Amino acid sequence: KNGRTIREGICSTGSYTILTAGENQKWVFETPRGELRVLGKEKSPVWVKPDWAFIEEGLPVPPPGHHSRYERGVLGDYKLMLGRGYLIHGTLYKRFLGMAVTHGCIRMGDDDLEAVYKNLQIGSKVFIY
């Protein structure tokens, strides 16, 4: 705030693994680097599972809007949207904080996530390096 660090914490970022499905589908699970902005914020978020989440589990991909795409409680108490499907959110797997294990999102512990959620507004800059 005002050019000073007000909190430091540990987070997890993209694993850089690659998932392929057939010849035309490929995902690289990386966290984007550089300057992003908070495009939206939400309390008690519900995860809308993308196609890759089903493919990764060896399950058939349901149509958009299907009830199996919605999962509660896995993103923590808050999420901040950075665009293109990337989020800052909580995690059920706190033992993995500090490791490159995500599908590209930034995962944080509960206290750090709450502080970030309360201190960043829509339009705030987020720097990822």
Listed residue (87, 1, 72) closest to 41, CA to CA: 87
Q: What is the mean pLDDT of residues 63-67?
A: 97
Averaged pLDDT, 111-126:
96
Distance CA 126, CA 106 (A): 11
> Please, is 74 exposed, middle or buried when counting C-beta atoms within 10 Å of its C-beta (0-12, 13-18, 19+)?
middle
pLDDT, tens digit, for every residue of 75-93? 999 999 999 999 999 999 9
pLDDT greater than 90 at residue 44: yes
Structure letter (DSSP) for residue 110: H
**Strands 34-37 and 125-128, how do they pair?**
antiparallel
For the chain, give the percent of residues with pLDDT over 70.
Answer: 100
